[in-house]
Each structure stands twice: as structure tokens, then as C-alpha cells.
Amino acid sequence: MIPALWRLGLLLALRSRVRPGAPGTLPATATRVILGVWIGALAVAALVVVACVALLVWVVVRA
């Protein structure tokens, strides 16, 4: 569900960047917000993955 929303948000943002102001596209501010949220969500997901791997390595090393 979430990846589908990310794809939709990215698609809308990129579409409005290609033809700004065209009918059916988003204003520039909305585009920046969508891209910011999308990139922020990816950054948080990457941090969670790094933290999980670090925790796994720490547990394995201690064992």
C-alpha cells in the first residue's frame, strides 16, 4: 500500500514538473511538498534499515 502511494506521489510530482501549470498537474509548491515528503520517507526508511543491520551485527558479534 505505502509503495503504491509513493509511486503515485512521485508520478504526480514529476508530471507537474514536466508541464508546470498544465491542466491536471499540480502547482510548483505542491510538487516540492510531495517530492520533499517522498524523499524524506525514503531517507527514514534507509535509516531504519541501517539501524536494523547495525543492531543485527552487534547482536551477532556479542554472541
Q: What range does the domain containing 6 cover? A: 2-62
Count of positions (residues) in the chain: 63
Least confident span in 4-13, 26-35, 47-56: 4-13
pTM for this predicted structure: 0.53
Number of domains in the chain: 1
Give CA 7 to chain center in angstroms: 9
Are the beta carbons of 38 and 9 closer than 8 angstroms?
yes
Give the pLDDT of residue 40. 87
